[in-house]
């Protein structure tokens, strides 16, 4: 489908030819660029990152290449094989006009130098040399048409391009041996003729395409006596002007087919610097549109008025800036060094921040951020930048040119008599036009980067070589799965959409405070009072989610209207306050909140024996006490807190091998009390009341006042838990229930499966009449022990990894047991009956070692499932994920903690990550403690107490449902409703023969599920008979195998 929309702007400003300063008007044309079928095979990979550190990284060698004079003329190429070295009176416009000689190309390179100075914030100062010096060009032995023959296969095309590349540089080396090729990092060929991409009529198919080539081993150009091998180069034409046309619009002639080299060489040289194409290289669809030179940012048109009152369209005079992703690839280190690029962790949250536009030069000592990097997950992040079409507010931009206006050098302010270079390369971006012909527009642009697509996915070539998408230059070949994309503020996916007139972007892609007011003719009048898109988070439209539909931790709010300096705030989830503290060591550990002799609210932060107490002073975390030191520098288990000497102050309990220490902060100085056990400690110490229970490989110890004389022999303990006055000791093949006072073993049972990987947890009713101990075997099967019977209530029939378990109330059911198996999130009643709607499928796999949590927030019971490397996914009673209330982190943490301060009504969530940062989040104004289950061991002994409740049923009649029906597997389930006590279940075949007979125990849950074995059932129809306290029920079901 050809896209071509002719739009002549009503206000056209005449060129100002004095001082080679030109003011042109923007023109909108939406056209699909041509796709050469084979240029993607030239392996347009990014420059190796180490090349950017080369001393020669700013040096570019350009060679001019022509071909034997075509005689007769080849109709399949533009021109005659030679550069046009004389003026052409038929060429209607100055920009791009011949002669195309070395001086002309040097001026174009000078323009590119200005462009990349602006892109790099002046850090990249291009140095270039153009050869030959003594003639027009190096002449290759074959004609232009030879290198791109009509109808060439992919193999032939690649072979001829490699031949062309190699022959060009080796010819330059032969003719000019004084060229020191090794002193350059970049190479460019400028060849006679036009390029294939601008053959609008399709009548010169042998024109060479513009491309960036990187050849493999053995195909390099060998120069300087073989001491230098050139493997990469840009290839651009002498001109992109061809296929001139005249159309008539409103009685006025419009000339097209004219173009400048600025955008073409900026794009191809971008590859040499390290940029990648952001359009779809498979079909040339824009994927980030006009907002990056590596997509459609070079195809903008300007329109000018000719002396005869005709209009002329000129393409490529003003390349737009690379987007934030492209710029930071090459110049990110420099941006960070001067402060123009910052990570979100470097900025205070919930406070107004400034964001300076990329299209205006900063000067002075204070450099404002221009790019903010915000992580969504370990593999995804967003980049926030300020793009503005007219940062100086003069309504337009002027172009300063050279060589009698044949080459546009750079943009410059309209009324600047000194013609100072400006950064206004984004003037061509989508914007609003005023009735006076000036333009306004821009705002906060948000880029979503998916590094999993860029670096973990790729292409496997026939020779067995695998190349990731970034190195293969295929980052955006799937419309619905892009490695780099613009989050379009209007929520409409125009960019790259075949069915959109605006597939390169619109003025509504930016985030800003207010909607524009447009008059009846579509001209911009002012910013209204109606909000546009002043925020971006998990609940806005569009929403800030990763590619799996999960929210990140951060959001944007209070975004101002477009300006040179915009303001905004950064938020963190549903919290109203956050603080990030950077530590020098990546091995930071944060513990539970304790009290000390100095403060009632302290958070110990530990790293290799260096301990800091963060005190909470009026809601702010401050390190007031300074640094403490302890010689135990690594721990075998997470630190616990206990008041073992009952002095009213918590000690930290830390373990390394067979050594246990109580770190006491009751006094100003740290006191350490060490206990040495005969053998290695085998489980995390358990704190119950003021006692500390310690399991070693051989014994269970009860410590009070740091004394270890009270113990029993019990080998092989892997996990500990406690409730009431009882201790649970779990081994690989045994379960012991022990009196916490006397250490007498009250019950011990043998286990038929292997245990010890997952923590045991306990439910107890408030009146202590109902006690259920839940165990998960290493196979992922879940068992319930009620102090008399061990019953399997969940069977894991998958090979997926399983997560830890937790307990909570959930709507009108309490307790529920919840855990994950692979990507499945399970919520079951105490007897194993699934809650309706579960299991729920998550986009990420469950974390194996992190314990789930539960909170009551905003009137909802929320279960928090820990997902691998993604924080916690909140799920509500409607069996839906709640992204805005999820607990998200962006870098794998060690241990996280929930803490509720009753005195202030503040909920805290805090954790350190693997980079040495400690994140502290809080939300205030909570009248009641929202924590239903606090994660690991429920911040205690692993017990949970709540009333036992069940959802009421609409009917009191005995009923049953078989699922699935028909039965196709080796088991099926029966959901019994209103069955009191035990029930007898019998299965008959269609002849009346008894097939199965089973007595099942009753359950406090109603309804409850019973699983029956159908492995011996043949295909056919069966009848289930249910008998319960004199009541009978029959159900017919089928088996299909």
Report DSSP letters for 945-991, one per residue.
E---B-PPPS--S-EEEEESSSB-SSEEEEEEES--S-EEEEEEETT
Q: Count CA atoms within 13 Å of residue 14 on its CB side.
A: 7
Q: Which residue has the tokens 């090794």?
A: 182
Q: Count CA atoms within 13 Å of residue 820 on its CB side.
A: 30
How far from 278 is each of 286, 298, 302, 325, 643, CA to CA, in Å? 8, 12, 23, 10, 60
pLDDT digits (tens, 9 = 90+) for 432-470: 999 998 999 999 999 999 999 999 999 998 888 899 999
Q: Which helix (H) or strand (E) holds 569?
A: strand 565-572
Peptide bond into 390 cis (omega under 30): no
How far is the C-alpha of 284 from the C-alpha of 279, rounded, in Å?
6
Of 268, 267, 245, 266, residue with least CA distance to 256: 245
How far is the C-alpha of 299 from the C-alpha of 317, rounded, in Å?
9
Q: Are 546 and 871 in contact (CB under 8 A)?
A: no
How far is the C-alpha of 802 from the C-alpha of 777, rounded, in Å?
10
Ramachandran area for residue 437 (φ above 0: left; ψ -120 to 50: alpha; else beta) = left
How far is the C-alpha of 330 from the C-alpha of 261, rounded, in Å?
23
Number of continuous H segments (helices) and E segments (strands) in the chain: 6, 70
How far is the C-alpha of 140 from the C-alpha of 168, rounded, in Å?
7
How far is the C-alpha of 126 from the C-alpha of 144, rounded, in Å?
30
DSSP E strand boundaries for 760-846: 761-764, 771-776, 782-785, 790-794, 806-810, 813-821, 824-829, 840-841
At 119 the three-state DSSP class reads helix
Tell me whether strands 589-590 and 59-66 are parallel, antiparallel or unpaired: unpaired
Instruction: For the chain, list residues with pLDDT below 70.
Output: 1-53, 890-893
Rounded to an integer, what is the distance from CA 513 to the centroid of its chain? 25
B/e letters for 989-1028, b = 16+ CB within 10 Å, e = fewer, are eeeeeeeeeeebebbebbbbbbebebeebeeeebebebbb
CB-based contacts of 390: which residues, under 8 Å, 6+ apart? Answer: 396, 397, 424, 427, 431, 438, 439, 440, 441, 442
How far from 210 is each of 128, 213, 872, CA to CA, in Å? 20, 10, 48
Q: Are 423 and 358 in contact (CB under 8 A)?
A: yes
Of 677, 684, 671, 767, residue with least CA distance to 721: 684
Peptide bond into 551 cis (omega under 30): no
Question: At 466, phi and psi to the nearest 5?
Answer: -105, 130
Name the packing angle between helices 102-119 and 262-273 (round to 10°).
Answer: 60
How far is the C-alpha of 324 from the C-alpha of 340, rounded, in Å?
11
Report DSSP letters for 296-356, one per residue.
TTT--EEEEE-TTS-EEEEESSSPPPP-HHHHHHHHHHHHHHHTSEEEGGGS-TTS-EEEE
Structural domains for the chain: 38-242+260-276 (no CATH), 324-405+412-572 (no CATH), 959-1039 (2.60.40.2550)
Tell me whether strands 651-656 and 640-642 are parallel, antiparallel or unpaired: antiparallel
Of 409, 340, 376, residue with least CA distance to 113: 409
How far is the C-alpha of 447 from the C-alpha of 454, rounded, in Å?
14
Tell me whether strands 589-590 and 602-607 are parallel, antiparallel or unpaired: antiparallel
B/e letters for 29-57, b = 16+ CB within 10 Å, e = fewer, are bbeeeebbebbbebbbbbbeeebbeeeeb
Q: Are 277 and 471 in contact (CB under 8 A)?
A: no
Of 363, 387, 473, 681, residue with least CA distance to 44: 473
How far is the C-alpha of 505 from the C-alpha of 493, rounded, in Å?
9
How far from 791 is each of 746, 774, 776, 783, 787, CA to CA, in Å? 19, 10, 12, 5, 11
Of 257, 246, 137, residue with least CA distance to 194: 257
Report DSSP letters for 913-936, one per residue.
BTTSEEEEEEE---SS--EEE-SG
CA dihedral of residues 422, 423, 426, 432 (deg, nearest 10): -50
Question: At 916, phi and psi to the nearest 5?
Answer: 90, 10
pLDDT digits (tens, 9 = 90+) for 841-868: 999 999 999 999 999 999 999 999 999 9
At 175 the three-state DSSP class reads helix
| CA geometry: angle 332, 337, 338, nearest 5 deg | 105
């Amino acid at each position: 489908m050809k896209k071509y929309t002719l739009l002549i702007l009503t206000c056209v400003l005449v060129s100002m030819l004095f001082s080679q300063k030109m003011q042109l008007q923007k023109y909108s044309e939406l056209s699909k660029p041509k796709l050469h079928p084979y240029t993607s095979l030239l392996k347009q990979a990014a420059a190796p990152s180490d090349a950017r550190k080369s001393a020669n990284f700013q040096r570019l060698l350009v060679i001019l290449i022509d071909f034997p004079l075509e005689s007769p003329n080849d109709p399949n190429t533009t021109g005659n094989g030679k550069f046009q070295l004389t003026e052409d009176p038929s060429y209607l416009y100055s920009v791009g006009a011949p002669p195309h000689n070395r001086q002309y190309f040097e001026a174009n390179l000078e323009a590119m130098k200005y462009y990349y100075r602006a892109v790099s914030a002046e850090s990249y100062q291009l140095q270039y040399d153009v050869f030959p010096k003594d003639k027009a060009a190096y002449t290759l032995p074959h004609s232009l048409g030879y290198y791109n023959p009509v109808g060439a296969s992919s193999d032939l095309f690649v072979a001829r391009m490699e031949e062309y590349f190699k022959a060009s540089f080796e010819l330059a080396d032969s003719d000019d041996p004084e060229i020191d090729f090794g002193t350059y990092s970049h190479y460019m060929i400028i060849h006679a003729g036009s390029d294939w991409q601008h053959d609008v009529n399709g009548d010169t198919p042998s024109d060479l395409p513009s491309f960036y080539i990187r050849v493999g081993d053995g195909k390099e150009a060998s120069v300087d006596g073989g001491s230098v091998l050139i493997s990469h180069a840009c290839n651009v034409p002498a001109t992109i002007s061809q296929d001139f046309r005249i159309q008539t619009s409103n009685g006025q002639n419009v000339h097209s087919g004219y173009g400048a080299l600025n955008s073409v060489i900026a794009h191809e040289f971008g590859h040499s610097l390290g940029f990648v194409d952001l359009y779809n290289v498979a079909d040339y669809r824009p994927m980030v549109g006009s907002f990056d030179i590596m997509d459609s940012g070079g195809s903008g048109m300007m329109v000018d008025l000719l002396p005869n009152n005709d209009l002329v369209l000129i393409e490529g005079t003003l390349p737009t800036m690379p987007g934030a992703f492209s710029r930071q690839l090459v110049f990110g280190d420099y941006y960070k060094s001067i402060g123009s690029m910052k990570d979100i962790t470097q900025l205070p949250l919930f406070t107004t921040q400034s964001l300076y536009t990329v299209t205006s030069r900063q000067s002075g000592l204070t450099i404002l951020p221009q790019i903010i990097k915000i992580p969504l997950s370990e593999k995804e992040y967003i980049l926030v930048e300020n793009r503005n079409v007219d940062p100086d507010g003069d309504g337009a931009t002027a172009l300063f040119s050279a060589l009698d206006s044949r080459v546009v050098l750079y943009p410059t302010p309209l009324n600047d008599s000194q013609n100072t270079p400006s950064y206004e390369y984004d003037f061509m971006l989508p914007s609003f036009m005023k009735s006076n012909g000036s333009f306004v527009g821009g705002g906060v642009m948000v880029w979503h980067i998916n590094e999993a697509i860029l670096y973990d996915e790729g292409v496997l070539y026939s020779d067995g070589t695998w190349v990731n998408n970034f190195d293969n230059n295929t980052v955006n070949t799937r419309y619905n799965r892009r490695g780099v994309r613009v989050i379009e503020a209007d929520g409409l996916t125009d960019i790259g959409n075949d069915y959109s007139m605006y597939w390169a972007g619109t003025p509504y892609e930016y985030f800003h405070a207010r909607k524009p007011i447009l008059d009846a003719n579509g001209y911009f009048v002012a910013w209204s009072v109606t909000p546009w898109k002043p925020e971006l988070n998990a609940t806005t439209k569009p929403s800030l989610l990763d590619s799996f539909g999960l929210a990140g931790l951060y959001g944007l709010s209070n975004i101002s209207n477009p300006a040179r300096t915009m303001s905004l705030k950064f938020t963190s989830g549903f919290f109203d306050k956050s603080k990030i503290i950077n530590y020098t060591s990546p091995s930071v550990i944060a513990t539970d909140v304790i009290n000390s002799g100095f403060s009632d609210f302290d958070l110990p932060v530990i790293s290799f024996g260096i301990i800091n107490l963060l005190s909470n002073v009026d809601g702010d975390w401050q390190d007031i006490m300074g640094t403490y030191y302890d010689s135990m520098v690594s721990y075998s288990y997470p630190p616990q807190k206990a008041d073992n000497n009952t002095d009213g102050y918590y000690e930290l309990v830390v373990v390394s091998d067979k050594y246990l220490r109580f770190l006491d902060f009751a006094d100003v100085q740290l006191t350490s009390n060490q206990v040495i056990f005969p053998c290695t400690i085998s489980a995390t110490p358990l704190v119950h009341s003021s006692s500390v229970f310690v399991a070693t490989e051989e014994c269970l110890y009860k410590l009070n006042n740091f004394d270890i004389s009270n113990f029993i022999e019990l080998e092989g303990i892997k996990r500990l838990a406690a409730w009431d006055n009882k201790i649970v000791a779990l081994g690989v093949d045994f379960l012991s229930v022990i009196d916490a006072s006397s250490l007498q073993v009250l019950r011990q049972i043998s286990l038929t499966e292997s245990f010890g990987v997952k923590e045991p947890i306990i439910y107890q009713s408030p009146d202590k009449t109902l006690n259920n101990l839940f165990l998960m075997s290493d196979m992922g099967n879940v068992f319930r022990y009620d102090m008399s019977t061990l019953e399997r209530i969940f069977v894991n029939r998958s090979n997926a990894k399983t997560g830890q378990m937790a307990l909570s109330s959930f709507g009108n059911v309490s307790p529920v047991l919840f855990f994950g198996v692979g990507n499945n999130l399970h919520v079951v009643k105490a007897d194993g009956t699934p809650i309706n709607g579960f299991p729920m499928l998550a986009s990420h796999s469950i974390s194996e070692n992190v314990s789930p949590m539960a909170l009551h927030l905003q009137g909802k019971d929320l279960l928090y499932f820990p997902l691998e490397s993604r924080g916690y996914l909140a799920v509500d009673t409607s069996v839906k994920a709640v992204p805005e209330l999820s607990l998200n982190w962006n870098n794998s943490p060690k241990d996280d903690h929930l803490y509720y301060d009753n005195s202030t009504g503040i909920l805290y969530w805090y954790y350190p990550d693997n980079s040495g940062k400690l994140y502290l989040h809080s939300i205030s104004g909570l009248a009641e403690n929202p924590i239903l289950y606090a994660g690991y061991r429920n911040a205690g002994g692993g017990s949970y107490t709540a009333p036992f409740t069940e959802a009421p049923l609409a009917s009191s009649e005995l009923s049953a449902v078989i699922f699935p029906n028909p039965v196709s597997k080796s088991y099926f389930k029966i959901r019994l409703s209103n069955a009191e006590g035990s029930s007898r279940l019998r299965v008959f075949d269609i002849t009346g023969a008894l097939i199965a007979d089973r007595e099942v125990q009753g359950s406090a849950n109603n309804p409850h599920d019973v699983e029956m074995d159908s492995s011996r059932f043949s295909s056919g129809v069966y009848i289930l008979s249910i008998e319960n306290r004199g009541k009978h029920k029959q159900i017919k079901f089928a088996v299909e195998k």
